[in-house]
Structure 1
Amino acid sequence: MGNKTFSTTTLVATVLATTYGGGTLVRAVEQVYSSGLYWVILMILAGLNLWIISLMAIRMGPFMGHLSLPETMGTIYGPYARIITGISSVCSAIAVIAIQISVISVTISTIFPYHSYIITVLATLILIFYSTLGGIRSVTFTDVLQFITFTIIIPLVAWFMFLNTEKSIFEIIYFLKDQEKFQFNKLFQCNTKLISLIFLSLSYLIGYTKEPTIMQRIYMSSGPTQAYNVFKISTIFHYLIKVFIILISLFVFVKEPNLPVNKVWNYIPTHVPPVFNGFIAISLLAMTMSTADSHINNSAIIASYDILEKIIPRKLHPINHLKLVKWSSLIIGLLAMVLTFFCNSLLTLLKYSLNFSIPITVAPFVLAVFGFRGTSRTALIGMATGVLTILAWNKWVEPYIGIDGSFISMLANGLAMMAAHYFLKQPKGAGWVGPDDTLKQIQQESFRKKAEREERIKNSWMNKKKHFS
């Protein structure tokens, strides 16, 4: 946790660096190009996810001493819920790391034309070595440098793509208005694509509450107030970066509206000044490294601290946690590399990440943050319901309608937990609790500032009336 001494600026940078992986950039550019306004709206709605985290962060006073999301789940729901959450988080992280390895491999292969498998192995080993030796403090401060790198380069890419269109802003707007995929009247037609967009947006919105790396940034904060400020500021920069990514895709579409989706990103390096190609590669590598190293570091901690320590018999303790974390980093990185060999579709890997975690962990965690104190049995019933729902959905529903079932499975989890809590006999103390002392102080301070602001406005208005009377 770096002794919880990180500044707000540092935490904002590492939140955004972790949020924006290379896969996020490439996938967003490709999907805005191919899906048009549907994906633009999805990105705008999904941008609220960090704001939702800020609302949760201010309520996490009772959990600020924890090291991980599974530890928080274990504190509320018991050791089995902790282990299940840990396994779910590690599986989800492996899919995210695989996305970053895939992007790193593609980026490096454009510079060094070696066999893709060799580049993938080398990229994985670099990631593992870097994340294992550095620790969270190294990861955090290099995240700051990586964040600075890609926040400079992404706007420059957007500018070069704009110049490449050889059109004015008004000409671009008129051109896009004539394209069917960018027309609002087509967007709001009730069809499967719109329903799919809605459910994917909901998965994105709630999905960050299951991200151990994002939750870790809350635990790294000095308290709920700093965590709230970190994610509130991050939301603003989150949208600024999204705007430039959307512009890059739109400018490519205006210039070349008939590219195959898998050729959209490859178009960009060939239509910027040659000297800038290296900077684009550096930007992608910075984004992928900042996301991948955070997930490797965090999932290795979860594997050792929340899973293996609870499974290994006590007679084998004490455990050398540092060695265990390093070995966990190696194994997790290698598993992600193997997954990359079998699946290199960024969208498919993203869905794997959502399916491994949202149906299992989001509902019990959100309920815990907002004051629900259920039993282990209640949580396990909800988790089992979420797993069965997503398995059934992926087998019998999604192949026919193409709608992601993560959000629906999360709802099934939450409803099953509430049904189990209210219909089954519960021990004394189970149920809802009021806000903790920290939240009460924050709320009182907020009410006081609001009253002072209203009083200033009232006095200012009275003074103006006296002045003009």
Structure 2
Amino acid sequence: MHYLDVAGLLAYFILLGYIGYRSIKKVNSSDDFAVAGNRIIWPVLFATLAASFLGGGASMGRAGQAFDHGYAFMFAASAFPIATVLTGIFIAPRLKRYIGAQTVGDIMEYHFGRYSRLITGIFSLIFCVGILGAQALAVGTVFNAILGIDITTGILLGMGVVLLYSTIGGMWAVIQTDVVQFLMLAIFMPVTLLIGVHEVGGAEALIARLPDGHFSIMGDYGPGMFLSLFIAFLLGETLVPPYTQRALSAPDSRHAKIGYTVSGLFGFLFYFVSSTIGLVAFILYPNISPDLAMPELIRTALPLGITGLVLASLLAVVMSTADSYLNSATVIFVRDIYQGFINPEVDERKKLWIERLMNLLIGAGAIVFALYATSIIDALLLSYSLWAPTILVPFVLGVLLDLKCSKSAIGAILAGALVTLVWKWGPWPLADVTGLSALVAGVSANLLTFFIIYHICKSRRGKLHTVNDWARS
């Protein structure tokens, strides 16, 4: 890289450190660290939410899948922005009814009792560390592709910066850096696409040089595989802790609704941009690894002085997701597990210091996960199987229908987890025999168990009321 490009990259890292330093003055309590004092208006909520979910999977992962399968993966993954828009309209505004809530566990406890909070905290923590590990792997991949640094060193360098500003400034630093990262993303990813399309001779030349299958809705996926992917992205990240935390950071339901919905609409545009970058790379560099499609285009096709800025924007995409999951995992541990079950009387000052310490420890755990992950998308899909079959169904039913039954929620979570584990890692090839993915099987078991137990409990309560009325008479 030219020294101008290196200077642009260094300027980006210096800016992140400065934001973290400035943010420490705003973090005086655990509420500031966790939800930024509930003062995130909708334009900022839109920017930070979009920056959070458009991470390594949505950028390099989607570009890599488009490199291999064409637009088919984009069509399957479009389930996520669909889910985000629906969540923004129907669920995000309702989350502001829970006064003082900071985590999914807070809301689960309101509907399903104290132990549902503990189970939710454990599964949420594992899920967040898994997604964080995928983003750490993406950071290392960027450094490897652009600077030639080995992936392990790249992971340590990039995640070191994330740990620095997120530990110092908490949610305030995360949101401010997310806004900066979103602006870089919105400017430089389309610029990269336009330059890449020019390199292949224009849009018509790109279309003419691509295989026909790269434009089909399902590509070389079979119907079962396409449907499994669609459902995985429809449910896998819906209302996950960092995104729920964003809605809870809004001042009221209106800001939560608009910010959440607009970010989902933006997701459709970004998915098209990142997928088309993968197609451009397929034409220009047919022999590279798919995960390197976007970094390779940035490294070789962009003009002098722009490469460093676009590299910074690519790192921004990944790091904005990493910092969100890191902050969320920390808040989950401290609020749902430590304060909820270990030391309920912890004071605010000590709680804030514990959050900062856990931020460092959880970040270290995610780095270890990243060192053993095989690919960005594989890491994401593995993590998705920990969320949708366990927490999502009871959480959504509680918020939408105001259901309250601790046994139904805990039973559903455990049933969903068990079925998913057996389906995915059991001795029998159940996915091949039934045609159902582990995620679909787990979600189905979760939903069925929830309603069976709920109706049993409801029936028993009805009989008890009848007996009591008879006794009083």
TM-score band by shorter chain is: 0.7 to 0.9
Paired letter, 1:406: L
Instruction: Determine whether 1:324 maps to 2:338.
Output: no
Instruction: Determine whether 1:49 maps to 2:83.
Output: yes
Paired letter, 1:292: A
Q: Greater shift after overlay, 153-162 or 119-128?
A: 119-128
Normalised to the residue count of structure 2, the TM-score between the two structures is 0.83
Instruction: Determine whether 1:180 maps to 2:209.
Output: no
1:428 is displaced (CA, Å) by 5.0
2:257 match: 228
Distance 1:303 1:127 in 2: 19
Aligned CA distance change for structure 1 residues 149 and 174 (closer, same or farther; 3 Å): same
1:58 match: 93
Distance 1:104 1:283 in 2: 12
Any idea what SS the aligned residue of 2:168 has?
helix
Paired letter, 1:31: Q
2:42 match: 8
1:159 aligned residue (165, 177, 194): 194
1:411 aligned residue (434, 444, 453): 444
1:273 is displaced (CA, Å) by 1.9
1:136 aligned residue (153, 171, 177): 171
Any idea what SS the aligned residue of 1:370 has?
helix
Q: Percent identity?
A: 24
What whole-Å deviation, never above 9, does each CA across 1:12-47 have from its counterpart, x for those lacking one?
Answer: 100101111134211000101101232121133332
Instruction: Determine whether 1:208 maps to 2:243.
Output: no
Distance 2:155 2:288 in 1: 27
1:66 is displaced (CA, Å) by 0.8
2:18 match: none
Paired letter, 2:132: I
- On the 8 A contact 2:66/2:276 being kept in 1, the answer is no
1:420 match: 453
**Matched length:** 423
Paired letter, 2:178: D
1:439 match: none
1:199 aligned residue (198, 220, 228): 228
What whole-Å deviation, never above 9, does each CA across 1:351-404 have from its counterpart, x for those lacking one?
Answer: 221122111100100101111423211111111110111011102346747964
- On the 8 A contact 2:236/2:385 being kept in 1, the answer is no
- On the 8 A contact 1:360/1:383 being kept in 2, the answer is yes
- On the 8 A contact 2:57/2:376 being kept in 1, the answer is yes
2:65 aligned residue (31, 35, 40): 31
2:330 aligned residue (271, 275, 300): 300
What whole-Å deviation, never above 9, does each CA across 1:104-144 have from its counterpart, x for those lacking one?
Answer: 22223345545543333333332222111011112111111
Distance 2:457 2:377 in 1: 40
2:293 aligned residue (260, 264, 270): 264
Instruction: Determine whether 1:379 maps to 2:386.
Output: no
CA RMSD of aligned residues (A): 2.5
Aligned CA distance change for structure 1 residues 263 and 240 (closer, same or farther; 3 Å): closer
1:442 match: none
Paired letter, 2:449: A
Aligned CA distance change for structure 1 residues 274 and 302 (closer, same or farther; 3 Å): same
Aligned CA distance change for structure 1 residues 119 and 252 (closer, same or farther; 3 Å): closer
1:452 match: none
1:436 match: none
Structure 2, gaps ≥5 residues long:
1-34, 464-473
Instruction: Determine whether 1:338 maps to 2:357.
Output: no
Normalised to the residue count of structure 1, the TM-score between the two structures is 0.83
1:98 is displaced (CA, Å) by 1.0
- On the 8 A contact 1:64/1:223 being kept in 2, the answer is no
Distance 1:84 1:64 in 2: 22
Q: Greater shift after overlay, 290-299 or 394-403?
A: 394-403
1:287 aligned residue (313, 317, 327): 317
2:126 match: 91
2:13 match: none
What whole-Å deviation, never above 9, does each CA across 1:151-172 have from its counterpart, x for those lacking one?
Answer: 1110011011101111x43343
Distance 1:106 1:35 in 2: 21
Aligned CA distance change for structure 1 residues 105 and 59 (closer, same or farther; 3 Å): same
Structure 1, gaps ≥5 residues long:
431-469
- On the 8 A contact 2:53/2:321 being kept in 1, the answer is yes
Distance 2:70 2:146 in 1: 30
